[in-house]
Amino acid sequence: MWKVIYIAPSLHVANRLKELLTAEGLLVTDRPLSKSSENGPRELLVPQSEAAEAHEILNRALCSQAMKSRPRI
């Protein structure tokens, strides 16, 4: 059974995250949130047995990206 682990805001972001998860050895697929827009938001899905690991990988990647874009005080 596949489980939605993230909703990417665009096809570009979904593809980048799929590459990241695939490089870590996970099975990943995606589907459009709306049938009217292929480039709009997309659900990222992994097998349920890999969902926890996928969340950890995404959290690390997204948190490190957020830290890089934070303004310095």
Q: pLDDT at position 72, please?
A: 53
Which tokens is 18 given?
């799929």
Domains of the chain: 2-69 (3.30.70.1530)
DSSP class of residue 71? Answer: P
CA atoms within 13 A on the CB side of 54: 23
Summarised one tens digit per residue, pLDDT across range 28-64 is: 999 999 888 778 999 999 999 999 999 999 999 888 7
Number of other residues whose CB lies within 10 A of the CB of residue 70: 8
pTM, to two decimals? 0.83
